[in-house]
Each structure stands twice: as structure tokens, then as C-alpha cells.
Amino acid sequence: MKHVPVLLDEIISYLNIKPDGVYVDATLGGGGHAEAVLEKLDSGQLFAFDQDLFAIEKARERLKPHADKLTIIHDNFETLAPSLAKHGVEQVDGIYFDLGVSSFHFDDASRGFSYKEDAWLDMRMNQNQTLSAHDVVNTYEEVALANVLFEYGDESFGRRIAKNIVKRRQQAPINTTLELVEVIKQSLPQKVLSKKGHPAKRSFQAIRIEVNQELAVLKTALSSALNILKPGGRCLVISFQSLEDKIVKSMFKDKTTIDYPKGLPVMPDRVAPFKIVGKKAIKPSQTELKTNHRAHSAILRVIEKR
């Protein structure tokens, strides 16, 4: 399984790395970004989070030459601040997030993330947690399931899919990814099935987000990340879908804007605690898009603490 980090040059450039600084990789994954950051550090340290033991094992092997500058934390980045505090770290010079699903999750069909390979319905990023895609598909009530499909997948046929899932599981549990794909396809009109792209993509995204509570966790982690930045420190976030990017964009806007009451005769001399770096969101170059297909939907946003 080959791991190709997305927007690598941009991450290194915008992170503004100090050789003696303290940095956080909130989403270690295959370790591609971490490797490039560690190569820039001298006496500095990198703390890397991941909740997937398989990813950690692979990354640890890759990053062995930099072991003296690296601390890997096996936990969800939701625990960012308290986990770092246990290591005596209260403030950092920079932190970056590479959101979404790791390439390992898609490449290993047995994890149940792919709608193209048959496997048990799992989709857990942390295999120690109890809730899985199998639980969501086979135990959620029809209305709750439809809401998940619509809110997290923007699936306009969510109600029909949920209805057919419930109908199907009354006969026998839906155990595998391709069994679920079959139900989804049967729920969609021909005009949708004939469109470009896999018909189960939206539903699988929605169920995966629900299983891992990705959006709720992101809000908590991002807030913590901004709180622990040193003045001049930067937070970088790569997102791959609109729900993630909306959260990042909204929080960054909130932190870089001061709302004044209307009707003030004189505007107070105040400056927002953060500033946006770059005039707009950063996207992969045409060169990267040609060599890394997983970069196509990537968007990078950068914020700096004043």
C-alpha cells in the first residue's frame, strides 16, 4: 500500500517550521507529512496522533530514522489538549490536520470502507470502539438512518434507501459492503445510476461519518488546536468534502472577525486574535492532480495566531 501525502509542499511551506519548534500532526496516517516535517526539525519535536493501530505501526516503521524527535499518541485527535498536557506540552508552534479517510482504510478492503470491494460492514477508524457500520445499517430506525444519509451524505434519495434497508434487514441482516451497495442501487432511479460516479458513494460517506462521529470530533479538536497555538503559530487543515470544509471555514472566520454593536460613534481599536494566511483556500497544483488522484477534492486552509 503506497501512501502519497496530499499538498505536501504546501503543508511544509505554510507551516513555517522552526528547527527547534514543537509541532503536532493531528492525523498521522501513513506518515508522509510527518516525515517531511521531521526532516526540518533539529532539536524540535513532533507529536503525532492516530487512533488506528495499523496506521501507527506502518508510520512508526517509516519514521524510525526520526524516532528521537517523534512522539506518537494512539488516540483520537479529539483528546488533543489533554493528551499533549500529559507530555508536558501546553503550547505548540504549529499543528496540521489531514482529514477524511486514510489511504490505508480504502486500500485494505477488509476494513469495510470501500464500496468497490466486498467486506464486513465495519468502517471504524478506531477498531477498539464498539459502534460499526454494521450496527448503523442494522439497528438504526428508518427515520434516523434517513437523516444520517441526508445530513452527512447529502443523499436526496436517503428516505428511499433507508426504507429499503429496513425492509431488507427484516429478512436477514445486511452484513457486507456489497450487500449494502445492492440495496442502495435498487433504491435509486435509472437516471441516477447512469450518472458518472459510484451510486453508493454518498451513502457510504454518510455512514462512515456517523460511525466515527467525524464532524463533532473535528469541531472539538479544531477549537483545542487554536487554543494551544503560540503567538505566530499556525494551524493548517486539509479537508476533502464540503461538510468538513464548512466547519473549518466557519471557525476560522469566527476567530478572525470582530463583531461590533451597531451604532457605535467610534470603532474600538481592536484586532482579531487570528488572521487568515493566504487570500483564499489553497488547492493542489495541476502537477499534483496528475500524479495523485486522491488530491482532487483537497482544500487547504491556514490560520495564524497573532
HEC-encoded secondary structure of 31-83: CHHHHHHHHHCCCCEEEEEECCHHHHHHHHHHCHHHHHHEEEEECCHHHHHHH
| Domain final position from 185, 212, 239 | 212
Residue 297 has which C-alpha cell? Answer: 477534492
Residue 292 has which C-alpha cell? Answer: 495523485
Looking up residue 142, the CATH number of its domain turns out to be 1.10.150.170
Looking up residue 251, the CATH number of its domain turns out to be 3.40.50.150
Residue 266: predicted pLDDT: 66
Give first-to-last CA distance, the chain, whole Å.
40
Confidence of residue 267 (pLDDT cuts 50, 70, 90): low
Return the closest-CA partner of residue 133 out of 169, 104, 157, 92: 169
Residue 177: predicted pLDDT: 98
H helix runs in the chain, sequence order: 8-15, 32-40, 53-62, 80-86, 103-107, 133-139, 142-153, 158-169, 177-187, 190-193, 201-212, 214-227, 242-255, 286-291
Write down the pTM of the prediction. Answer: 0.93
Q: Are residues 290 and 203 both part of a single domain?
A: no
Can you give the residue range of the structural domain that contains 134? 114-212
Residue 1: inside a domain: no
Residue 109: inside a domain: no
pLDDT digits (tens, 9 = 90+) for 76-87: 999 999 999 999
Q: Are residues 94 and 229 both part of a single domain?
A: yes
Residue 2: inside a domain: no
Element (H, E) at 302: strand 299-305
pLDDT at 90 over 60: yes
What mean pLDDT value characterizes the chain?
Answer: 95
| Domain final position from 162, 187, 212 | 212
| Domain final position from 187, 212, 237 | 212
pLDDT digits (tens, 9 = 90+) for 104-160: 677 788 999 999 999 999 999 998 999 999 999 999 999 999 999 999 999 999 999
Residue 102: predicted pLDDT: 77
Q: Are residues 223 and 295 both part of a single domain?
A: yes
Residue 3: inside a domain: no
Residue 103: inside a domain: no
Structural domain count of the chain: 2
